[in-house]
Amino acid sequence: MAVLTEEAASDGGTAGAPSRPRAAGRRGRRTLLIAAMAAALLALCLLSAGIGAYEIPVGDVLGSLLHRVGLGGARLDRVGESVLWNVRLPRVVLALLVGASLGCAGALMQGVFGNPLAEPGVIGISSGAAVGAVGSIALGLSFFGNWTVTACAFAAGLLTVLVVYALSRSGGRTEVVTLILTGIAVNAFAGALIGLFVFFADNAQVTQITFWQLGSLAQATWPKVLAVLPCALAGLAVAPFYARKLDLLALGERPARHLGVDVERLRITLVLVVALLTAAAVAVAGIITFVGLLVPHLLRMAAGPGHRLLVPGSALGGALVLVAADLAARTVAQPAELPLGVLTALFGSPFFFWLLRRTRRKQGGWA
């Protein structure tokens, strides 16, 4: 009984003063989470750079890296150095960029639509961007050199975001059903366009398109990294500055405006950023679904829905998932390589089911 009253008393105390210790504890946990994810990512990158048909011990990977930046360390032998720097590292960096872009784009998308199901893959933006990329391959376009595929993916992705946005919103809200149905329609249309391009492409292009479509980082090279770097970095650098406004947008459009958010401008900016990030990912790696859905969800469960953590955290988490997935894709069926997109969908779809069931149980589904 004494314990009970004491508890009640302390509860009353924290209720009066909004829980500073608890808030501080939460912040501490969030910092820890980010630090843990960053450490895991670093370890995984080193591991991924070492593992493969030609094994390089992690210590040697680190040594070679330090050597290149001039902080001691040591060169590997000629083959090792070449494998590490021309094959493995571009691939790891590309996985980092693509994963971060997908994770971040997912978090932004869900924030802008105020809807946890919005994800570039689910609502058709990835396939929209894919149409641009496939088109540029099939038509043999090269007006921007290395950047052509990325540029086309961006243009097509942007157009798709705008179409989805216009079609699925009414009266300042997006209903889940409308959003998903719009996604189905957009995906179907994009699939048809891709089919048309494949139909008109020659054999070599068809092979290229098919492999690209499955989602893979197999042909990673530094020029490819350079081709997506500007898009991805620009998107990732801009996104965190909108975190606070995205929090306010969760209240709805009018309340967000009442709190001083220029909603129109916020939306247009973020749609641009999402298109940039999605294009960057799709252009090099094809359609990789579920990363943008899965990562923000897990983070929300672990650390709450605040976007100040969610946006950079999703970029970090996305990179983590993709580096891990790519490592798995090229090692589990050695010497063959699983397509990355197939792998993420294989693990992502069950998660999606689980999410649906959980939401149905808790709140009777999405309205």
Partner 1 sequence: MIKSFFSSRIRALPEPAAPGVPLAEAVALRVRLGGRTVLAEVGLGVAAGEVLALVGPNGAGKSTLLAALAADLPAESGEVRVAGRPVADWSAPELALRRAVLPQSAAVSFPFAVEEVVRMGRAPWAGTPAEDADDDAVREAMAAAEVAEFAERPFSALSGGERARVALARVLAQRAPLLLLDEPTAALDLRHQELVLRVCRERAAAGDAVVVVLHDLGLAGAYADRVAVLHEGRIAADGPPERVFDAALLTRVYRQPVEVFPHPRTGEPLVIPQREARAGR
Binding site for partner 1 (CB under 8 A): 15-19, 22-23, 114-116, 241, 244, 247-252, 254-255, 257-263, 300, 304-306, 363
Q: Rg (Cα) of the chain, in Å, rounded? A: 22
- C-alpha span between 338 and 313 (Å, rounded): 27
Rounded to 10 deg, the angle between the 148-168 and 222-238 helix axes is 40
Tell me the closest approach of the beta carbon of residue 265 to partner 1, in angstroms: 9
Tell me the closest approach of the beta carbon of residue 36 to partner 1, in angstroms: 22
Nearer to partner 1, 299 or 329 (CB): 299
Nearer to partner 1, 105 or 338 (CB): 105
Tell me the closest approach of the beta carbon of residue 113 to partner 1, in angstroms: 8
Closest CA to 127 of 206, 174, 185: 185
Tell me the residue type at 171.
G
- C-alpha span between 223 and 227 (Å, rounded): 6
- C-alpha span between 18 and 31 (Å, rounded): 21
Tell me the closest approach of the beta carbon of residue 302 to partner 1, in angstroms: 13
Q: Are residues 292 and 318 in contact, defined by beta-carbon separation less than 8 angstroms?
A: yes
How many residues make up the chain in this entry?
367
Nearer to partner 1, 16 or 72 (CB): 16
- C-alpha span between 332 and 327 (Å, rounded): 8
For 173, phi and psi rounded to 5 degrees?
-130, 155
Nearer to partner 1, 95 or 248 (CB): 248
Tell me the closest approach of the beta carbon of residue 282 to partner 1, in angstroms: 26
Nearer to partner 1, 94 or 164 (CB): 164
- C-alpha span between 272 and 303 (Å, rounded): 27
- C-alpha span between 329 and 106 (Å, rounded): 22
Tell me the closest approach of the beta carbon of residue 255 to partner 1, in angstroms: 6
Tell me the closest approach of the beta carbon of residue 358 to partner 1, in angstroms: 12
Please state, as a whole number, how many other Cβ atoms lie within 10 Å of the Cβ of residue 147: 17
Nearer to partner 1, 61 or 248 (CB): 248
Nearer to partner 1, 12 or 70 (CB): 12
How many angstroms separate the most distant Cα atoms in the chain? 82
For residue 173, the cross-strand partners are 170
| Sequence-distant (≥ 6) Cβ neighbours of residue 246 within 8 angstroms | 108, 111, 112, 266, 270, 307, 311
For residue 174, the cross-strand partners are 169
Instruction: Give me the DSSP letters along 244-295.
Output: HHHHHHTT-HHHHHHTT--HHHHHHHHHHHHHHHHHHHHHHH----SHHHHH
Tell me the closest approach of the beta carbon of residue 120 to partner 1, in angstroms: 18
Nearer to partner 1, 4 or 69 (CB): 4
Tell me the closest approach of the beta carbon of residue 311 to partner 1, in angstroms: 13
Closest CA to 32 of 228, 224, 313, 294: 313
Nearer to partner 1, 231 or 309 (CB): 309
